[in-house]
């Protein structure tokens, strides 16, 4: 019933999808409270994760700058071989010490990301997508308690979890590629080819993320998971990839723009900017919630377009079949009239009976 009501809605462009998504919390104030409460565990975990992650980034940035300085000044003062070897050994010892110091932080980042952060993000995604889809379908306003219980009682958690296991490795590999590209560029290697590769990878990352996000929405709202959900996402997004790319790119800019602001606050303001840092992380969580509402609206719009094309194609096949039957009937009637001298009026009567009922 909910899906049928949604499918009757008009086709939307990017601005229309954003407008429909923002209309849900605007018309349902209880949903804002629900989204805030469901995002609190994710918010506190994300604050801890961002502090450790960005501190590691700052240390890595300082290391790259110091390493570049050492490499530039290794052979400036004295060019004797003994001095060169000593300088090289010092650089290597500095690198090994940096790896030793940064390894515990990397392990903490991986542990926090894989266990609490990813699971809390999954639960938050399920609750936001399911509740917003219920309200988007025009169902009567639900209480906050009902939203919590219905989000997990009517939704299979296993399905979205399995789909997330398929998405996570692809997401991490792409992020690693982008991080490597930025790191290599920061130390001045590869130049223009590296820049082109980074831009191409960013474009594909936006396109792939739109498909992955729709796959998660399908896993939550329909009985599909894993490869089946991702395949359905590819199918439903046919003809709509540009809109998915634009929507995804908007939220990527929002998220990573705020994360860069968090990096600036931690690097320059230190603990004096803890309030601003917390507010920026809160805006990241807000953007995450809005993103999943937008993905839900985008999924239903893509599904609506595909089903309309399918219905039009089936109608076209039926019309062609009717036309073929009419041609056969006319040929048979003409042959019969020539052989047994059938009156003209009978042929026209048979033709009218063969007409399809619209």
Q: What is the DSSP string of 127-184?
A: HHHHHHHHHHTTPPPPPHHHHHHHHHHSS-SHHHHHHHHHHHHHHHHHHHHHHHHHHH
Among the listed ranges 21-30, 65-74, 197-206, 334-343, which one has the minimum average pLDDT value?
334-343
Q: Is the pLDDT of residue 319 over 70?
A: no
pLDDT tens-place string over residues 77-89:
434 443 444 455 6
276 in helix, strand or coil? Answer: helix
- The model's pLDDT over 201-252, given as tens digits with 9 standing for 90+, comes to 888 999 999 999 999 999 999 888 899 999 999 999 988 899 999 999 999 9
Q: pTM of whole model > 0.85?
A: no
The pLDDT assigned to 351 comes to 36
Within 10 A of 154 (CB to CB), how many other CB atoms are there? 11
Q: Is 80 helix (H, G, I), strand (E, B) or coil?
A: coil
- Cα-to-chain-centroid distance, residue 43: 19
- Residue 58 pLDDT > 80, yes or no? yes
């Amino acid at each position: 019933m909910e899906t049928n009501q949604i499918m009757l809605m008009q086709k939307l462009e990017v601005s229309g999808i954003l407008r429909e998504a923002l209309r849900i919390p605007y018309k349902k104030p209880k949903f804002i409270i629900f989204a805030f409460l469901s995002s609190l565990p994710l918010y506190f975990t994300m604050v801890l994760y961002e502090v450790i992650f960005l501190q590691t980034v700052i240390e890595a940035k300082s290391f790259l700058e110091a390493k570049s300085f050492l490499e530039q000044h290794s052979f400036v003062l004295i060019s004797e071989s003994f001095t060169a070897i000593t300088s090289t050994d010092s650089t290597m010892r500095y690198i090994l010490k940096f790896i030793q110091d940064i390894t515990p932080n990397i392990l903490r980042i991986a542990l926090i990301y894989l266990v609490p952060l990813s699971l809390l993000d999954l639960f938050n995604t399920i609750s936001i997508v399911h509740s917003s889809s219920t309200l988007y379908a025009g169902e009567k306003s639900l209480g906050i308690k009902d939203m919590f219980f219905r989000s997990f009682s009517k939704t299979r958690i296993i399905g979205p979890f399995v789909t997330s296991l398929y998405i996570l490795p692809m997401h991490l590999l792409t992020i690693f590629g982008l991080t490597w590209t930025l790191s290599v560029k920061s130390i001045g290697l590869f130049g223009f080819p590296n820049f082109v590769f980074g831009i191409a990878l960013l474009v594909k990352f936006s396109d792939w993320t739109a498909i992955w996000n729709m796959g998660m929405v399908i896993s939550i709202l329909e009985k599909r998971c894993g490869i089946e959900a991702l395949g359905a996402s590819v199918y439903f997004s046919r003809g709509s990839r540009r809109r998915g790319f634009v929507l995804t790119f908007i939220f990527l800019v929002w998220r990573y723009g705020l994360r860069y602001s968090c990096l600036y606050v931690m690097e320059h303001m230190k603990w004096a900017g803890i309030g601003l840092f917390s507010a920026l992380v809160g805006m990241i969580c807000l953007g995450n919630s809005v993103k999943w509402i937008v993905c839900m609206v985008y999924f239903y719009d893509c599904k609506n377009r595909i089903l309309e094309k399918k219905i039009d194609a089936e109608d076209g096949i039926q019309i062609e079949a009717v036309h073929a039957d009419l041609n056969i009937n006319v040929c048979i009637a003409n042959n019969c009239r020539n052989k047994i001298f059938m009156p003209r009026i009978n042929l026209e009567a048979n033709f009218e009976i063969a007409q399809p009922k619209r």
